[in-house]
Amino acid sequence: MNFLSPYPPHSQRLSDIVQSDEELAQEARYRSEAFAELYRRNLKAVYRYHLSRVGNVHDAQDLTAQTFLAAQEAIASFQGRGKFAAWLMGVASRKTVDYFRRQRSILPLEEAHEVADDSIAPEEFAAQQLSLEQVAQALSHLSADRAEAIALQVFGGLSVAEVAQVMDKSEAAVKMLVCRALKDLRKHLETACE
């Protein structure tokens, strides 16, 4: 066996080779299985981002579906110059902006629908929902830019550089937005607990 060969051993199938999101995005232009893998890898981050922004399970699910549909339709526009996750969160961000434009008013968090999840105990699910509601409520008290920066970084899982790319801002500006957002959130949560 030649260990210096650039080719995988015959026993290893090509589909077993782990590809980066960026490589999969290039393949997704002509192979639906590649986009399905991108969906699987990025679903949780996109959903958490939307849930943190809208505070409503049903709307977060709808926005997540819309995000992936729009991403699939526009996959040819991904040039591969940056991270796929940043490009995808840009799509998610635009879907959130569209959502708020359509809403023109914020729905109360009390209207959030419960999600049946057999994998966790009801008490744990209730505690998670309460935490998500508190976070969504706290985020609603921030300026739009601060809320967006913190949601993309914390819930979307993006780096500061990737958030800067999505928001079309400098990294320094994003760091400042996140820092100020965290300070504002801390103040809000401290007054809410009093």
Phi, psi of 73 (to 5 degrees): -70, -30
Half-sphere exposure of 153 (CA within 13 A, CB side): 22
Percent of the chain with pLDDT over 70: 72
Residues 6+ apart with CB under 8 A from 76: 29
- pLDDT at residue 105 in the model: 52
pLDDT digits (tens, 9 = 90+) for 109-164: 555 454 444 455 555 554 555 466 666 777 778 888 888 888 888 888 888 888 88
Mean pLDDT of all residues belonging to the chain: 78
Cα 61 to Cα 51: distance, rounded to the nearest angstrom:
8
- pLDDT at residue 122 in the model: 54
What does the chain come to in residues?
A: 194
Cα 90 to Cα 87: distance, rounded to the nearest angstrom:
5
pLDDT digits (tens, 9 = 90+) for 170-186: 999 989 988 888 888 77
In this predicted model, which residue has the larger pLDDT, 84 or 187? 84
Burial, 117: exposed, middle or buried (Cβ in 10 Å; 0-12, 13-18, 19+)? exposed
Cα 153 to Cα 139: distance, rounded to the nearest angstrom:
13
Mean pLDDT in residue range 74-99? 91
Cα 140 to Cα 146: distance, rounded to the nearest angstrom:
10
* 16-20, 47-51, 58-62: the lowest-pLDDT one: 16-20
Residue 13 pLDDT > 60, yes or no? Answer: no
